[in-house]
Amino acid sequence: MDTTQRPGRLAVGVVGAGRVGTALGAALTTAGHRVVAASGVSDASRRRAERLLPDVPLLPVDEVVAAAELVLLAVPEEALPGLVAGLAATGAVRRGQLVAHTSGRYGAAVLDPATAAGALPLALHPVMAFTGTPTDVARLAGCSFGITAPEPLRPVAEALVVEMGGEPQWVEEEQRPLYHAALSHGADHLVALVAESMDLLRRSGVTEPGRMLGPLLGAALDGALRSGDAALGGPAARGDAGTVAAHVERLARVSPQSVASYAAMARLTAVRALGAGRLRPGDAEALLDVLAGGGRA
């Protein structure tokens, strides 16, 4: 069966042959749409396009937009507003054209210049860390997408996400900054926290910190996702001010830059444990006093 002949199939142009753009382009191809052009200037972008979008020509941005019924803007967030404004100002966007971006920070409003030119705006943000390899396409199965669009276009946004194997999650325009902050706080800060933990373990003499942390962090993440605050553990959640003070004192000598992040996370842990009824107010007060005093019990 030739899927390109199915009704509703779109000519897709991918602006930005990065990790996200090539993976989504490949997923749309699997769904029966046709990626007709992509843009990418770096050697890495060209290699990714060759792997995931074979036989798709790499063209200047304006030519990609001209060839497409669905334009997928998969560019860094800081570049998105200027790109949209430029495309609208030069007349590259045409009436009735679907214009979607993949940014988490922005909703549909960032596409207002294109909308004013008659385009149909969609925000389709895949909640996934991309590697730039073909495995990304398979990993889209079950991946959540934060979608924002004018209400009449909501079914279109949802259908595109489902076709790519994802699960659409509606996010109101005014909630996009909070939505993105939550994702960044959870994922980006997790990477920094784990990397710092591995560094400290190496300094304590552990030769394979990743192997040591893997089971512990896997269980902690599973517990947090299943049970939330009920999974809190450790000295801060127990209100063990003496142990926390010893931690801070040692960190101050060995890795001073780690003290602020440790204290901030210990404080957050205590506050959440207190709110969940897992920590007595008196123990919480003693612990917070230690943290406020720079670790002196």
- Convert the pLDDT of each residue in 151-182 to its tens digit: 999 999 999 999 999 999 999 999 999 999 99
Selected residue with higher pLDDT from 7 and 10: 10
Within the chain, what is the greatest distance between any pair of CA atoms? 72
Q: Are 151 and 227 in the same domain?
A: no
Given the DSSP bridges, would you call strands 11-15 and 34-39 parallel, antiparallel or unpaired? parallel
Confidence of residue 271 (pLDDT cuts 50, 70, 90): very high
Q: Cβ distance 34 to 10 under 8 Å? A: yes
3-state secondary structure of 67: helix
58 DSSP β-pair partners: 38
Q: Are 64 and 121 in the same domain?
A: yes
Q: Are 36 and 70 in the same domain?
A: yes
Say how far apart CA 14 and CA 37 lie, in whole Å. Answer: 6
Q: Are 142 and 254 in the same domain?
A: no
Q: Are 139 and 235 in the same domain?
A: no
User: Is residue 262 a part of any domain in this protein?
Assistant: yes
> Over pLDDT 70: what percentage of the chain?
96
3-state secondary structure of 193: helix
Q: Cβ distance 275 to 229 under 8 Å? A: yes
User: Is residue 84 a part of any domain in this protein?
Assistant: yes
State yes or no: pLDDT of 195 exceeds 70. yes
CATH number, domain at 127?
3.40.50.720
**Cα 87–101–128 angle (5° rounding)?**
150
Q: Are 214 and 283 in the same domain?
A: yes
- pTM metric for this prediction: 0.89
Q: Which helix (H) or strand (E) holds 273?
A: helix 259-275
State yes or no: pLDDT of 7 exceeds 50. no
> 139: which 2 tokens?
């990993």
Q: Of 141, 171, 201, which residue sits at a domain end? A: 171
Q: Are 187 and 270 in the same domain?
A: yes
Looking at residue 2, what is its pLDDT? Answer: 39
Which residues form the domain of 228? 178-292
> Tens digit of pLDDT for each residue in 209-245?
999 999 999 999 999 999 999 999 999 999 999 999 9
User: Is residue 130 a part of any domain in this protein?
Assistant: yes
Q: Of 119, 144, 171, which residue sits at a domain end? A: 171
Q: Are 156 and 266 in the same domain?
A: no
Looking at residue 41, what is its pLDDT? Answer: 84
Q: Are 205 and 240 in the same domain?
A: yes
Q: Are 199 and 125 in the same domain?
A: no
User: Is residue 283 a part of any domain in this protein?
Assistant: yes
Say how far apart CA 246 and CA 138 lie, in whole Å. Answer: 46
Q: Of 142, 171, 200, which residue sits at a domain end? A: 171
State yes or no: pLDDT of 296 exceeds 60. no
User: Is residue 297 a part of any domain in this protein?
Assistant: no
User: Is residue 185 a part of any domain in this protein?
Assistant: yes
Q: Are 8 and 88 in the same domain?
A: yes
Q: Are 134 and 214 in the same domain?
A: no
Question: Hunting for tokens 């930005």 — which residue is that?
Answer: 16
Looking at residue 28, what is its pLDDT? Answer: 97
